[in-house]
Amino acid sequence: MTEANKSHPSKEIRRPTMFVALLPMIAMLFFVGVGFPILKLPIPIILLLPSVVAAIVAYYLGYTWSDLQKAISDKIGQSTGALLVLVSVGMLIGSWMISGTLPMMIYYGIQIIDTRVLYLSAFLATAIVSVLSGTSYGAVGTIGVVVMSIAATLQMSLPITAGAVVAGAYFGDKLSPLSDTTVLAAAITNTDIYEHIRHMLWTTVPASLLGMAVYLIAGFNSSQEAVSSELVSTMMTQFNQIYHWNILLLLPLVIVMVGSAMKYPTAPLMFVSSVVACLLAIFIQGFSFNDVCTACANGFNVNMVHKAGFDAAAASSAVVRLLNRGGMSSMMGILLITYCAFVFGGIVSCTGCLEVMLEKLQTKVKTDAGIISSTVAASLLMSVIGGVSYLSIIVTAELFGDVYKARGLASCNLSRTLEDSGTVVTALIPWTGGAAYMAATLGVATIDYLPWAIMNYTGFMFAIFYAVTGISIKKIRS
């Protein structure tokens, strides 16, 4: 007997037929397919509209609002720890930005560009900046623009360069603990974020190595003399004006790395790292207590800098795009999306609709390979229809989470597959916001750079390969 039956045992609760069980999912596909690309509706509304359909189905089946409210609350309660991590990441980014921890790593990482192997350097440099900053957009809008300007000057292939930049940017978007999609995939599946990242190495590393080999071969005969970049020079100068470089700035990073290796809880670990970063911002960078609190809450902004020789109004747009970010408030949009998804997931789970669909799926798909391949297919479909990685991750996770548990598959298998087929693929679909940004920023059409963004479309192929062979598939420990 379900919890709903216990709450009002005298009331008849009907089990949904397959047709009724599919109605909420059909509504989800419809609103995702129409609401985002055509009507341009906000994502939270797109998630709430099918929730209304699911609620109507629930009422038809005999459930009350109290039943649904409890199911939604339970859903949110189960992910409280993961949601705290999401907020902690925002605080961490803001504090690392104002302290100079992230900028120092980016400052030295940017300088690895070598025009003798430009395509490979484009991937590596963008990947480093993306991992350190946790943003594919920021990496493309900064180091990506630099690499494209060098490629244009040398008359090298812009599509190849753009493809390498996009692949490098999404390498970090997958593996950085500062990335919103990385945190979201871990949170929505209740997976420890570092376990999630470690598990993704199985698919991301070989996919990246394959791409790097292609970039090396493609650029082997394209060696040119180094070209000085005015943009790089400007960024380096302004970084030096804003920050004082000191080896102690790496301490917040060391705390996170050592703490995660020792398996300390993620949220407290990030909080301690943020506090240390704030102290460094005050005593090394000279920011006020009010500034560091603002950076943690609302994100760092170059307008906070009041140092001799630096004019915030004259700051390079590339520097502003890279540094103006972070803060707990920056995660509120993702939290809202997640809560709206839990409304839908809670109702569908409570009514037994999800159970009916999963029972049907389990009768058709009886192997680990079949389930993981189905996850890939569903995630790709959501990416094509919705065009937003958040939607692909959240909806697919809600649909397949219980299936993985039933087969004894650890949640990190699901979280990895969600990123392999959701996070990185949206950049290859021309009508998505991600692809539009990449094309507009790099000056290369999506269809032209798509073949060269090798990591973005080979990751889910490795995921399927591992599912078939059983390699790296982690089971739930009894």
For 116-153, what is the HEC assignment? HHHHHHHHHHHHHHHHHHCCHHHHHHHHHHHHHHHHHH
Cα separation values, 388 from 258, 385, 440, 457, Å = 34, 9, 17, 16
Q: For residue 219, which of 167, 165, 161 has the smallest C-alpha distance?
A: 161
- List all residues 6 or more positions away from 377 whose beta carbon is below 8 Å from its beta carbon: none
Confidence (pLDDT) at 235: 82
**pLDDT for the residue 350:** 85
Please, are residues 419 and 158 in contact by the beta-carbon 8 Å criterion? no
**Which pair of structure tokens corresponds to residue 157?**
């292939």
- Residue segments in the chain with a per-residue pLDDT below the cut of 70: 1-11, 78-79, 82, 110, 112-115, 142, 153-154, 223-229, 260-261, 263, 358, 362, 385-388, 431, 433, 478
The model carries a pTM of: 0.70
Residues in the chain: 478
What's residue 386's pLDDT?
Answer: 59
**Which pLDDT value is given to residue 227?**
45
Q: What is the pLDDT of residue 278?
A: 97
Cα torsion 339, 51, 412, 420 to 10°: value is -100
CB 86 within 8 A of CB 335: yes
- In one letter, which amino acid is 335? L
Phi-psi region of 190 (alpha: psi -120 to 50; beta: other; left: phi over 0): left
Q: What is residue 115's predicted lDDT score, i.e. its pLDDT?
A: 66
**pLDDT at res. 119:** 92
Query: 124: how many CB neighbours lie within 10 A of its CB?
Result: 21
C-alpha 397/C-alpha 417 separation (Å) is: 10
Tell me what pLDDT residue 317 has.
Answer: 82
CA distance 79 to 242: 38
